[in-house]
Structure formats: structure tokens, C-alpha cells
Amino acid sequence: MAPSAFTKPAFRALGVAECFRKRNARSVIAAVSYRRDRVIDGVYLDFVTVGGLDATERIVSLVERTGRKDFNVVMVNGCVISWFNIVDVKAMFDALGVPAICVTYEESAGLREYIERYFPGDSERLKLYEKLGERELVYIRNTRSYVYVRYAGLGRDEVRRVLEATTLSGQVPEPLRVAQAVARAVHELLERDSPDLLRKPLCEARRRSEGDASLSTTS
């Protein structure tokens, strides 16, 4: 990615975040298109299986269904979402051809112990988690904060530039902060008005209509 790309107003990051309750079958994921000049020009919604192994597939599908080719980077709020559903950042980059970054904020000794405890014998989940490798610590100079990242399709310095271009305060990049707020609001609405939808496994919705689980708005 050319250094000048980070300063152009049309530089776009697609931020993806989720909200879930362990008692439900589905989590809500929201994706927000955020331009370098602080304009949000797209919001997209979908579901991911709580405790499933479909996070990478569902995020890739969501990005593809936007029909857009102007995202410079895809950012995900964590590589382990929706109750140990693993986001394979390298597979996401390979599928989309768009650089990908997973961002987390706290120190951790790792999640292997918890995967073995809550998903005993689930070798596929454990293999996906171990494939992620170690996180890297990155300093965001403009907000004087640190985050942990995993990434594919760009270098460490480019990751730092993306974070500095999209983080306005604190640790959380703006595309992820807004996506998290949208996911939480939609999840709360569904919990209140359509709780059965969140409890219905995704495979049932797919059999009924492939398009039911996806909504989008763009400007």
C-alpha cells in the first residue's frame, strides 16, 4: 500500500464488530465503511453462529455481498468472536484480496486453555486458533495508546499507519467503535422484538432464504 494512500480522503477501512449472548444461536455482526475524512458511507449487517466455526466465511460473504471494491483494508474487532468463533485473518485476505487486521486491546496468556475447557475434543477449533499465531503490540502515536494486532496483506508499519489514520481517541479505531455500537443496537432491538430470530440456527435460515440474514444501507 503506497504511503500516500493513508492521507487520501477516500481511503476506506471496513470495520467489523459483533454483539452476542451465549444463550442465543446467532450473534449480530455489523460492518461500517469509514473514510479517512471521517465520513461513514456504508453500514452492513449479518449473523454469525455463536460458538460456531463460520466467522471467517460469514465475514467474507458479507464483504462480497456489499459489491464494493473500494475498501483499502478490513478491520475486525478481535480474531476470536461470538464465543470462540475463530476469524482466520490470512484466509480472509486470501479470499478478498484486501488487507486484513484483527485488533484486540488487553494482555492475554492465550485462549487455548479455555477452548479445551469449553470445547473438549474440538481439534478443528484449536487448530484454527493456533494457526493465528502470536499477537503483535503496536503503538498508536496520535492517541498514545497500544493495541494488539494480527494481520495479513500488509506490513507492520502499514498496520500502524492504518491505526493512526482511523483512531481518533483511546485504543479503538473509529470503524470498529461505530461497528460495535451498531451491532449492539441491532442486537438489543432483536432481543426485544424478535428474540426467536436470534435463537434460530443459521442453517435453518439458509434453507428458507439465502438472503434473509443480510441487510445493508449505503449512501
Q: Tell me: the pLDDT tens digits for 63-91?
A: 999 999 999 999 999 999 999 999 999 99
With respect to residue 206, please indicate whether it lies within any of the assigned structural domains.
Answer: no
With respect to residue 71, please indicate whether it lies within any of the assigned structural domains.
Answer: yes
* Structural domain range at position 52: 3-107+134-199
Query: How far is 212 from 206, CA to CA, in rounded Å?
Result: 8
- One-letter amino acid at 196 equals D
Q: Tell me: the pLDDT tens digits for 95-114?
A: 999 999 999 999 999 999 99
pTM listed for this prediction: 0.90
Query: How far is 49 from 105, CA to CA, in rounded Å?
Result: 23
Among the ranges given (155-164, 172-181, 209-218), the one the predictor scored with the smallest mean pLDDT:
209-218
Which residues on neighbouring strands pair with residue 36, listed in sequence order? none
Q: Into how many domains does the chain fold?
A: 1
With respect to residue 127, please indicate whether it lies within any of the assigned structural domains.
Answer: no
Query: How far is 8 from 193, CA to CA, in rounded Å?
Result: 42
Query: How far is 19 from 188, CA to CA, in rounded Å?
Result: 9
**CATH code where residue 8 lies:** 3.30.2170.10
Q: Provide the b/e sequence for 59-77 (b: ≥16 CB within 10 Å).
A: bbebbeebebeebbbbbbb
